[in-house]
Chains A and B, each alone.
Chain A
């Protein structure tokens, strides 16, 4: 590529100006209560909007919105496995691809998949796999693509829910839906389904105990946990309570997700009019 030598090139690495704001101008997460009116220590997840079938070319797709967190997922397959050397005669393979749109986070991301996205892809794969009847799809592959359009916290949890919704919409046989819920532990209390500032900000003074976050993926009707991610540090009891709270949070999502599925089935096969 020809390089314009007269042009002043920008630095290789650049930072968002927002992080250089003085401490006083930065938005602080309140120590009591939460900004969006929810309560700390309660399992009141953000209201969720979910809908199936927005990508016409995909076998199944879903869109989910919780607060300002917006993401979509499409499912392709089952189709013949591409890499022949990895063909498994007995069961199918699930591929997950998790991506942030470059503009989805506060800091602009790159188009190439970063290590955080790879990490999320793997977590997503491990959470979904126990829910899918892969033995019904021998020698085939199912692809799950998740794209985060706007990141306002708890993306992995919502990605799990959205992906399982899309899988169900694609008519892939499953044992159960997989629901995700995450939580930010802040000392003695917790914030369920945290927003981005709540998730990343240090809410209280440094060196406080029990600072961390937990994400749980749950198969609700089988009551099985298929994914558990934990960051930060917590006491054992706190962790147990946090997981319990997440499970409760997952159950709150269940009816919404069920409704979205019923709607999509109705649309695909309208009930006979008589």
Chain B
């Protein structure tokens, strides 16, 4: 991520602001920056979404392919995450520079989303032990302006909401050979239930309080996210995180439903919006 230098005076200014629940850009401690979501932005994918949060811009594309289920869980499909930190976002990602952050992000996403209750992976199963849907979720960082985790999780959720998996059915001939048939109707699709798909809420401790959706400046004030915390503040932060997460989910689902209900009338914004 782009390195930001803060002077002592700036630091004091930001910390005092946070103490009084008024941050540099006028937000309170538990407010997100302006967020924009657009789904169905890439036509070659089965589901896609673009999310901007402040100046952070994330593009997620989901492709569904038929694969073999893992032997441990024969009746479930699975998700594969890949996060690409493109050098567009910051020059530090050039070459192999973004690899480390990319693996960190994709490992976290895998941990958070690959959960029995978040998506019912059994709906991705085609025939147990033989075929299942594999969802390749590719995340592209277009611009970095702090709080990647939250923005990515929202984008993934929106893209999963937008995902349409073609319906298939299995026919069996006399000799017991199985064949997968794809439905003729391109609109005959399966949707995923994203009601329980989680959103990540990152909290940053600045001074004695914690803030949601920290900008790069604020993050630089909290030791760049590499300090230690006393147990009590961790408990407070989980409480805040839960509250903020709940407050984020409801409007997000509403926005996604609303966008979809517009259908073809929806005005496309694209990447220059």
On whether the beta carbons of B235 and A243 are closer than 8 Å, the reply is yes
A-contacting residues, B193-251, CB 8 Å: 226-231, 234-235, 238-239, 242
Pair A231/B234 contact, Cβ less than 8 Å: no
Residue of A nearest to B198 (CB): A233
Inter-subunit contact B107/A219 (CB<8 Å): no
Let me know if A231 and B231 touch, CB within 8 A: no
Which of A207, A233, A247: most chain B CB closer than 10 A? A233
Q: Is the CB of B103 within 8 A of A115?
A: yes
- Contact indicator B71/A225 (Cβ below 8 Å): no
Instruction: Report Cα–Cα, A122/B103, bound state, in Å.
Output: 10
Contact A119 B231, CB 8 Å, known A130-B226, A236-B238, A236-B239: no
Q: How far is the CB of A106 from chain B (nearest CB, A)?
A: 12
Q: Which of B15-23, B26-34, B109-117, B258-266 contacts A (4 or more CB under 8 A)?
A: B109-117
CB–CB B107/A233 < 8 A: no
Are A224 and B238 touching (Cβ within 8 A)?
A: no
Is B130 engaged at the interface, CB distance under 8 Å to the other chain? no
- Whether A231 pairs with B226 at a CB distance below 8 angstroms is no
Interface residues as binary, A231-268 with B (CB distance below 8 Å gives 1, 0 otherwise): 11100100110011001000000000000000000000
Q: A118-B103, A119-B104 are in contact. Are A219 and B228 (CB under 8 A)?
A: yes
Which bucket holds chain A's interface residue count?
20 to 34
- CA–CA, A236 and B229, complex, Å: 18
CB 8 Å contact bits of A191-228 with B (1 = contact, 0 = none):
00000000000000011000000000001001111101
A38-59 contact mask (Cβ, 8 Å, vs B): 1 or 0: 0000000000000000000000
Which residues of the other chain, B, contact A244 by a CB distance below 8 angstroms?
Answer: 231
Min distance, Cβ B80 to any Cβ of chain A, angstroms: 11
Q: Which residues of A contact B230 (CB under 8 A)?
A: 223-225
Whether the pair B231, A223 counts as a contact (CB closer than 8 A) is yes
**B269, CB-defined interface residue at 8 Å:** no
- Mark A99-132 against chain B: 1 for CB-CB distance below 8 A, else 0: 0000000000000000110110010001001110
Tell me if B71 and A130 are in contact (CB < 8 A): no
What does the 1/0 interface line of B118-148 toward A look like (CB < 8 Å)?
0000000000000000000000000000000
Does A15 have its Cβ within 8 Å of any Cβ on chain B? yes
A225 and B231 contact, CB distance less than 8 A: yes
A234 and B31 alpha carbons, distance in the complex (Å):
25
The proximity string for A residues 9-39 relative to B, scoring 1 for CB distances below 8 Å and 0 otherwise, is: 0000001000110000000000000000000
B228 x A224 contact (CB < 8 A): yes
| Residue among B226, B228, B239 with max Cβ neighbours from chain A (10 Å) | B228
| Residue pair B226, A129 in contact (C-beta under 8 Å) | yes
A206 to B266, CA, bound (A): 41
* Contact present for B228 and A225 (CB under 8 Å): yes
5 closest A-B pairs (Cβ-Cβ)?
Answer: A224-B228, A226-B228, A130-B228, A119-B107, A240-B235
B interface residues, Cβ below 8 angstroms from A: 71-72, 100, 103-104, 106-107, 111, 115-117, 226-231, 234-235, 238-239, 242
8 inter-chain pairs at a CB distance below 8 angstroms, sorted by A residue, are A15-B71, A115-B106, A130-B228, A222-B228, A223-B231, A224-B228, A226-B228, A236-B238
Q: A19-B72, A225-B229, A225-B230 are in contact. List 10 more A-B contacts (CB 8 A).
A: A19-B71, A118-B107, A119-B103, A131-B228, A222-B228, A232-B115, A240-B238, A243-B235, A244-B231, A247-B231
